[in-house]
Structure 1
Amino acid sequence: MADAEKRPIIIIKKKGHGGHGHHGGAWKVAFADFVTAMMALFMVLWLVAQSPQTKSAVGAYFRDPLGIESGGNTEINTGPNTGGAGFFGGGNTAVAVDTSFSAGNGAEQRPTKELPELSNARSRLTQALMALHMDSWARHVELTAVEDGLRIEIQDSDDLQLFAPGSTKIAADARPMLTTIAKEVGLLPNHVVIEGHTDASPASGRVDNWVLSTERANAARKFLLAAGVRDEQVVEVRGYAERRPRLWHKPEDARNRRISILVMINDQPGREGDEPESGHPLIQRLRALDLEAQGPSNELELEPDGKVALPP
């Protein structure tokens, strides 16, 4: 009995093996990367399906999310491409984003003295067009802040055309709208570029789409000059035929037929179409080489009494 009491007490501990143990958190990192990639994919797919105006607006928002450069947000039309009511229509067709006239990514900041003028012109033009109560043409006018300035674009539709098919005559119901645009643009000091675009349908009659788009742009120029735009404002008239459609996947869509009026930021150096300065050393050297290639002048000099001075 005494020996039993002196025996040591042996305690056996058995480690439980329930559950699956710890495998680490690497799977969480992989899953988070997968979710992020899927979100980026859906964002890209959404952007691809949007209209050019929406893409430009989203880009402007990410360039200046706080609206510091322009001092606020502006509504940009999603356009008839998305089935909305247009720039002046109702409903949830406008996207409130920043549309400041900024230099873009990596570009040198441009002089800003003209930017408030363009912003004010857009506001005045919007109010003036709304005052006309032109429900038919309201959804066809888009005012967009672009890199080069302010773009005013007038689009056709299946039931409303700025020009008759194959014609350069402006429709009568569109003239009040163009007159309003001309009066507002004529108040600005900025240069203007007028562009004509057609759809991919073959032009009827004697002209092709290149000639038709150019002649329509020139017809718009003549009307705008008569309605208030100054002659020295218009620096270019361009015709692009069907080469720059709004809807690449629908080249024959009526919305590809349009007239674009670009109110430019005048003091941008190196703008396409500007002539080089005559005082540039390269220009002077080229002119000197041209004169050397022509040889001595063949012009005859006159003596004081009016007789021709013959060369010795």
Structure 2
Amino acid sequence: MSEQKAPIVIKRVRKKAGGHHGGAWKIAYADFVTAMMAFFLLMWLLGSTTKGDLEGIAEYFKTPLKVAMQGGSGSGDSSSVIKGGGTDLTRKSGQIQRGQTQAEKKTYNLKAAQAEIERIEAAKLRDLKKRLEVAIDANPTLKQFKRQLLIDITSEGLRIQIVDEQNRPMFNLASAELQPYTKVILHDIAQVLNGVDNRISLSGHTDATPYASGERGYSNWELSADRANASRRELIAGGLAESKMLRVVGLASSVPFNNAGPHDPVNRRISIIVMNKRTEDAITKEASGVNVADADAARDELDKAGAPK
């Protein structure tokens, strides 16, 4: 009888490299990093938020659910950080809900503000007057013409008048050509006028002596306007900014300096006015002409009448 051999059993052991849970640590690490980011973000917010905002946030989380959903007195329905009373200090508990109190109305006294502006402006013009007087006394050339330089403050602003004397006219006879010393006066005045923001009005005046051709030809009106423009050119040549000049007019003999003597040489003069804000606004408004509404109304009337446009 033959001997039977026992079967040979071979066991194979498979080494596992972690199986399905091999990446679990990555998820845990990601959660940890996310938590740390949230933590550092919270720390940054707490560090960059003001104390008042932090108190407001704290008050918000103290608000009862009923107050948050339905409104009413609570500890978080006001921006005030005062505990208990909120905007109404007479209350012992809770706060006033927004909308229950009226906002404080701010009122402005426009007349008082306008008066204060005019007071400051008048002080600046008085200071300019003193500076001009000092400049005249300090300048030998201007000082010898001091009697012909009249400076005063009027309702329109600071007025500087350069007047003729019997033997010392500013212009050639019946001409708009300036005398050399008149140019010097205007150049020195221009330097001082540039020191203020106010704009300038310039007017020319003559005496009542008429031209031989009368008012129909070249008259005192044209002469006064030409002299005013000649003075304007010299002021600009002396350094005055062109934008400061607002008005240049010739008034002939209509506004005499000496009412009792219409032929007095003192009536021949150049008047420079450093205008205050009120006068400047009045001139600007007057020069602006018809407003758009009036122009449209006039155009409608012309259309109704069938007039040519």
After TM superposition, the score normalised by the length of structure 1 is 0.54
Query: Kindly tell me: are residues 223 and 268 of structure 1, through their superposed partners in 2, closer, same or farther at Cα, counting changes over 3 Å?
Result: closer
Correspondence 1:161 to 2:149: no
Amino acid at match of 1:243: S
Amino acid at match of 2:225: T
Q: Which structure has greater helix proportion?
A: 2
Counterpart of 1:198? Answer: 206
> Identity across aligned pairs (percent)?
28
Retained in 1: the 8 A contact 2:170–2:178?
yes
Query: Kindly tell me: are residues 189 and 204 of structure 1, through their superposed partners in 2, closer, same or farther at Cα, counting changes over 3 Å?
Result: farther
Counterpart of 2:144? Answer: 136
Counterpart of 2:87? Answer: none
- Whole-Å Cα distance in 1 between the matches of residues 201 and 175 of structure 2? 21
Correspondence 1:123 to 2:169: no
Counterpart of 1:183? Answer: 191
Amino acid at match of 1:219: A
- Whole-Å Cα distance in 2 between the matches of residues 237 and 127 of structure 1? 27
- Whole-Å Cα distance in 2 between the matches of residues 238 and 170 of structure 1? 17
Moved more, 224-233 or 188-197: 224-233
- Whole-Å Cα distance in 2 between the matches of residues 204 and 132 of structure 1? 40
Q: How many residues align?
A: 185
1:199-218 alignment, distance < 5 Å: 199-203=207-211, 207-218=218-229
Query: Kindly tell me: are residues 203 and 276 of structure 1, through their superposed partners in 2, closer, same or farther at Cα, counting changes over 3 Å?
Result: closer
1:1-312 alignment, distance < 5 Å: 109=115, 111-134=118-141, 135-203=143-211, 207-268=218-279, 271-272=282-283, 274-275=285-286, 283-290=291-298, 292=300
Amino acid at match of 2:201: V
- Whole-Å Cα distance in 1 between the matches of residues 186 and 159 of structure 2? 14
Compute the RMSD of aligned alpha carbons: 2.6
Q: Structure 1: which 5+ residue stretches go unaligned? A: 1-107, 296-312
Retained in 1: the 8 A contact 2:198–2:276?
yes
Q: Structure 2: which 5+ residue stretches go unaligned? A: 1-113, 304-309
Retained in 2: the 8 A contact 1:191–1:235?
yes
Q: Counterpart of 2:291 in 1: which secondary structure?
A: helix
1:244-286 Cα distance to aligned partner (Å, 9 max, x none)? 11112211111110000000002458624524879xxx93432
Query: Kindly tell me: are residues 276 and 252 of structure 1, through their superposed partners in 2, closer, same or farther at Cα, counting changes over 3 Å?
Result: closer
Moved more, 126-135 or 188-197: 126-135
Query: Kindly tell me: are residues 271 and 140 of structure 1, through their superposed partners in 2, closer, same or farther at Cα, counting changes over 3 Å?
Result: same
Retained in 2: the 8 A contact 1:114–1:265?
yes
Return the index of the structure with the highest Cα Rg. 2
Query: Kindly tell me: are residues 245 and 127 of structure 1, through their superposed partners in 2, closer, same or farther at Cα, counting changes over 3 Å?
Result: same
- Whole-Å Cα distance in 1 between the matches of residues 212 and 225 of structure 2? 15
Amino acid at match of 2:205: H
Retained in 2: the 8 A contact 1:137–1:174?
no
Q: Counterpart of 1:154 in 2: which secondary structure?
A: strand
Query: Kindly tell me: are residues 253 and 131 of structure 1, through their superposed partners in 2, closer, same or farther at Cα, counting changes over 3 Å?
Result: same
Retained in 1: the 8 A contact 2:199–2:280?
no
Retained in 2: the 8 A contact 1:125–1:180?
no
